[in-house]
Structure 1
Amino acid sequence: MPQTLVSPAQYREEIRKSRFLTLAAPVESAAAAQAFITAHGDPSATHNCWAWKIGQQYRFSDDGEPGGTAGRPILAAIEGQDCDQVVVLVIRWYGGIQLGTGGLARAYGGGASKCLQSGERRELLRLERCACLASFAELPRIKARLEAFQAQLEEEHFQADGVFLKLALPAERVQALRDWLLDLSRGRIELQHERYKSFTESVDEVVDNR
């Protein structure tokens, strides 16, 4: 079962005179992850490398370190710890001794793993994202019943022919909600899985080879 942090965590380490500060926190959106990185990054540091993962979405940055030596190892640490809905920022102050590509990957990935291990964690429910089109008359009854299925209303869009709803709920409750909606609408409302695009790009290019 995937886990997230209960509260922010940090881990400090010095490797061959380079200082590393790793910060990790729970987040629920890409915007929240980027806001954490902006708020806690140190402009005076040599590198501010990071990764975050929220469901099927993830992103990472090497921030000037050689490609594949920072952001991706941080992301691998998040996945290796079976974490989700977390952001990890690793700040490095260069100490004058090159670590090599392998040393960098171990430093960034290892720091991220130790930081996540040090924090208090909680299990996440595996949520499925679904969508359906309901009539205006059916909307109040659907909203009133969502809590019974542990469903969250993420978005609603009013259209000429009804209301388009995007929902998130535990995977084991999807079929029960689908059956209830079919019964409510006499077979007209069909609950379908909503697919979200993931993105995996790194946002930086290789600048140096420290």
Structure 2
Amino acid sequence: MLSILQGFGSVFEMLFHSTKCLPVSLLLTPHLKLIHRLPASLLVIAGGKKAMISSSSSSNGPDSYTTIRERVSFEREIKKSKFMAIAGPISDEQSAQSFLSEVRDSRATHNCWAYKLGDLYRCNDDGEPSSTAGKPIYSAIVSSGIDRVMVVVIRYFGGIKLGTGGLVRAYGGVTTECLRSAPTCLVKSKILIGLEVPFDLLGVLYHQLQSFQVEDIKQDYETGKDGITMVTFRIEFDRVERLENAVKVNCSRQIVFYKF
């Protein structure tokens, strides 16, 4: 049996590498029938990201990040040029493109932008001298500690050239001020948990799951064990240990936890 489980472990490891997903800790249940029935989405926590320019990380660590709650803007006139920074929360590259399409102004001289999605980021000077707009916008995003955000800075040229240094200060400055005024929130990552539960303890378990505000609860009765069901759900990473302790205290028998 041990050799069979080790074989399954090797297969999963190969799948992780082939799909370019980040490896996660996977505790395999000894019931092979149950493993076979679990969909692939329950076995992998999506997290693979490709850094387009360089790596960066959230100031809150890999399990949480700070983002803005809603779209905000900031406007400033610098030597007769009008700079308008608009920031919005994004979840992926597609939402970033949608945000850009919504806020860009075709009448403006330049629509420069940058966004950050964990380790993935992109920036664009939109006709300004190289590295005088997109990179300063991105640098201001990194300095703010905010993630999953895009900032578009729209410039209406006023007739006076700012020079390379002036442009860097202008684009970086309005981005900083825009993000400084934005309401933020901390988003905690959720992980997938599975529990083997006797039928008669389901009521006790569900009471605990409700009190810990878990999400996406599912049940599988075909576990290969009489009177046992597998309950899976998602929960914020920092609540797992407290939930496990609460379940142990309130249930008369041991319930086995699996982290997928």
Query: If the length of structure 1 is used for normalisation, what is the TM-score?
Result: 0.63
Tell me the equivalent position of 2:129.
Answer: 66
Structure with larger RCO (C-alpha < 8 A, sep 6+): 1
Quickly say closer, same or farther: Cα 1:98–1:152, change in 2 above 3 A. Answer: farther
Higher strand share: 1
Q: Shift in Å at residue 168 of structure 1?
A: 8.3
Q: From 122, 146, 160, give the equivalent of 1:97.
A: 160
Deviations 1:128-150 (A, max 9, x none): 7x79xxxxxxxxxxxx9999987
3-state SS of 1:112 partner: helix
Provide runs of 4+ in structure 1 moved above 2 Å.
Answer: 124-128, 144-153, 167-177
Task: Tell me how far apart the structure 2 counterparts of residues 109 and 151 of structure 1 sit (CA, whole Å).
Answer: 40
Task: Tell me how far apart the structure 2 counterparts of residues 173 and 63 of structure 1 sit (CA, whole Å).
Answer: 44
Tell me the equivalent position of 1:83.
Answer: 146
Give the 5 Å matches for 1:50-199: 50-122=113-185, 124-127=186-189, 170-172=236-238, 183=256, 191=260
Give aligned pairs, total.
163
3-state SS of 1:65 partner: coil
- 8 Å CA contact 2:116–2:149 kept in 1: the answer is yes
Query: If the length of structure 2 is used for normalisation, what is the TM-score?
Result: 0.52
CA RMSD of aligned residues (A): 3.2
- 8 Å CA contact 2:67–2:187 kept in 1: the answer is no
Tell me the equivalent position of 1:30.
Answer: 93
Structure 2: give runs of 5+ residues left out of the alignment.
1-59, 193-205, 217-232, 244-255
Quickly say closer, same or farther: Cα 1:190–1:11, change in 2 above 3 A. Answer: closer
The structure with the larger Rg is 2
**Is 1:11 equivalent to 2:77 in the alignment?**
no
Q: Shift in Å at residue 125 of structure 1?
A: 3.0
